[in-house]
Amino acid sequence: MTNLRSKIQQVIEEKLSPMLGGHGGGVEIIEVDEKKGLVKVKFLGACIGCPMGDMTFDGMIKEVLLGEVEGLKDVLLV
């Protein structure tokens, strides 16, 4: 059985990193709460301080993770 962190990391590597990396940015897992189905992530590289960061988080990162990772209930940007 694959744990929640592994599933999230796989989606980040396969789906999010190629899109964010094309702009010099990225996202990494800070904390996973398996019981609550919660992951905390932070921006990397060019995503830090980007004026489009909120839109990127809500419209792409959060949406993709919640849509792709079974058992994940919320994604927070820290």
Q: Which domain holds residue 29?
A: 4-77
**At 77, which amino acid appears?**
L
Mean pLDDT value across the chain: 95
- The CATH number covering residue 66 comes to 3.30.300.130
Q: What is the mean pLDDT of residues 17-38?
A: 95
Give the predicted TM-score (pTM) of the model: 0.93
Q: In the chain, how many domains are there?
A: 1
pLDDT at 2 (0 to 100): 65
Q: What is the mean pLDDT of residues 68-72?
A: 96
Closest CA to 41 of 64, 22, 24, 18: 64
pLDDT at 39 (0 to 100): 98
Check pLDDT > 80 for residue 1: no
